[in-house]
Amino acid sequence: MTNGFRGVLIGCGFFARNHMNGWADADGAEIVAVCDLDRAKAEAMAADFGVGAVFTDAAAMLAAERPDFVDVATTVEAHRALVELALAHGAATVCQKPFAETYADGHAMVEAAARADRPLLVHENFRWQLPLIELRRRLHADEIGAPTFARISFRHGYDVYAGQPYLAKADRFALMDVGLHLFDVARFLLGDARNIHCRTQRLKPEIAGEDSFLATLVHQNGAISSVECSFWSKIAPEPFPQTLIWLEGRRGTLELTFDYRLRVHHGGAVEEIDVEPPVPSWGERPWHVVQASVAAFEQHVVDVLSGFAEPQPSGAHNLTTLAMALAAYRSAETNATIDLAEFVAGGAVS
């Protein structure tokens, strides 16, 4: 390791294993303790990854270990208390998405980071997926001209509830789970949005929240994007967990298709590039695009701690993405197009 930043993990659930594998790959970081309310989960995680210290109380762990950074990988209802606790102990903090259930909680965490003068990052890994990074690179290299339209699609029928059964019980599901990822992708590619209009559906009868949505965004640069998600699509072969994108510019089109093919339409011709990410040594298909992006994001955290990079995304940046998801719910409830600046300024975010 080049720097040896000492970190701790809070939350030893399903996705946290990807976090731990990513930290093991990160050059310059080491997880020295793990914490979970369920001691058996924490002990199993520690044993699997060679971590020496196990806790069930986050405050006790922070006092004992005095880490450089904290990775909060719990479910959302615990985020604010744990993030504020970590920052109060002077640790740079990484928070799993969704960042918060309410805008007020998200804003409070951002303010706590400002007071502590410590980095606060949100574990938003879609923007760290290799296919999306290459698509953005080509867009910013002006290969297709100024963007005018994008369709961002995440439709599948994979059983996400098997590994994360709590998702079936969430009153707000698709928008707060994958919707946040997709809205961040829209911002990553096209910049911030002015307004949003959204429709939601609940297609699987046994679940509590919406499992499908369609949102349209008007971006500040005039581009329009269509953002769609479904957990109930019947497709063969199953595309999960790939995000498919059609992005039109004034001189051409970028197309991210199934099986990680990036097609560049320009000048009456089509160039096709393979942008499939490598499978990490600890990973497996079809999860590898997600697993590789987790490792890339966590290496970025080390770069931030080393002073080589600014957080992508920071808590402050992700607060706008959270507002987009909350505004999408308001739009679906009222059948109205929501002006995002007015939504936030009016205190209507909840």
Q: In CATH, what class is 130-276+321-334?
A: alpha beta
Structurally, at CATH architecture level, domain 5-124 sits in: 3-Layer(aba) Sandwich (3.40)
Is residue 325 within 8 Å of 200, Cβ to Cβ?
Answer: no
Residue range(s) of every CATH 3.30.360.10 domain in the chain: 130-276+321-334
Q: Which value, in Å, is the radius of gyration of the alpha carbons in the chain?
A: 20
- The whole-model pTM stands at 0.95
Q: To 10 degrees, what angle do helices 39-49 and 16-25 make?
A: 30
Q: Which two tokens stand for residue 311?
A: 């957080």
Q: Which H or E run includes 86? A: helix 79-88
Condensed to tens digits (0 to 9), the pLDDT of residues 247-291 reads: 999 999 999 999 999 999 999 999 999 999 999 999 999 999 999
Condensed to tens digits (0 to 9), the pLDDT of residues 41-52 reads: 999 999 999 999
In single-letter form, the type of residue at position 39 comes to: R
Is residue 246 within 8 Å of 226, Cβ to Cβ?
Answer: no
Residue range(s) of every CATH 3.40.50.720 domain in the chain: 5-124
Condensed to tens digits (0 to 9), the pLDDT of residues 51-109 reads: 999 999 999 999 999 999 999 999 999 999 999 999 999 999 999 999 999 999 999 99
Distance CA 58, CA 68 (A): 15
pLDDT at residue 348 in the model? 62
Distance CA 144, CA 142 (A): 5
pLDDT band at 163 (very low <50, low <70, confident <90, very high): confident
